[in-house]
Amino acid sequence: MTETNLTVAVIDPSRARAAILEEGLRAAGVGRVVIMPDTADLTERVNALRPDVIVVHLESPSRDILEQMSGVSRQVERPVAMFVDRSDATMMQAAVDAGISAYVVDGLRAERIKSILDIAILRFNAFARLQRELSEARGELADRKLIERAKGILMSVKGLSEDEAYKQLRRKAMNEKRKIADIARAIVTTADLLG
């Protein structure tokens, strides 16, 4: 996505700071910048706008703001870059826990905005990819456990060896053009109902 196609939501209660952010974003080639001067109904407004990136600038973040940003970043699944004038280790950790992609203390300068946004987007995408991979791995592990349980049921009920039970699962899946895990799920569900 090129910068001219980006929509950036800027959340900043200070008009002067928001103007600096907007200037830096426009100089970086960002096509659309929408200023939100407060956090009232933030989730709904961000959902309606569907920005590519959210930029927040505050003097000092509060736990309430970080919780609100956590909800926004999870719900709309967008990178969030936060600029703060002052912070401490506790707030930094809270920002990381809230899913903030870039947390910059005392670093609001127009010429730095583009590189910080680029990093925020890259970090967000890397984290999203890791989350997807973790979810897929958990799904595969759950499927394997289900298949093992179904094999055990077939071995017990039909007196099959482990290899024969797996071959029967695979054959049924191929005949019905379904996944082995789906066949296993049906066997386990039936056994649970009858058991």
Query: What tens digit of pLDDT does each residue of 39-57 get?
Result: 778 788 888 888 888 888 7
39 closest CA partner among 15, 19, 13, 14? 13
Cα–Cα distance, 114 to 102 (Å, whole number): 12
Report the pLDDT value the prediction gives residue 4, as an integer from 0 to 100: 65
Residues 29 and 101 both lie in one domain:
yes
CATH number at residue 57: 3.40.50.2300
Residues 92 and 139 both lie in one domain:
no
Q: Is the Cβ–Cβ distance between 193 and 187 less than 8 Å?
A: no
Residues of the chain with pLDDT > 70, as a percent, come to 93
User: Which residues span the domain enclosing 68?
Assistant: 3-108
For the cut 90, the answer to whether the pLDDT of residue 179 exceeds it is yes
Strand blocks (E) in the chain: 7-11, 32-36, 53-58, 80-84, 102-105
At 60, the pLDDT band (50, 70, 90 cuts) reads low
Question: Residue 41 gets which letter from DSSP?
Answer: T
pTM summary value: 0.61
Domain count for the chain: 2
For the cut 70, the answer to whether the pLDDT of residue 189 exceeds it is yes
Average pLDDT of the segment spanning 119-145 = 87
In-domain check, residue 166: yes
End position of a domain, from candidates 108, 142, 177: 108
Residues of the chain with pLDDT > 90, as a percent, come to 30
For the cut 80, the answer to whether the pLDDT of residue 187 exceeds it is yes
For the cut 80, the answer to whether the pLDDT of residue 62 exceeds it is no
In-domain check, residue 157: yes
End position of a domain, from candidates 53, 75, 108: 108
Report the pLDDT value the prediction gives residue 110, as an integer from 0 to 100: 65
In-domain check, residue 123: no
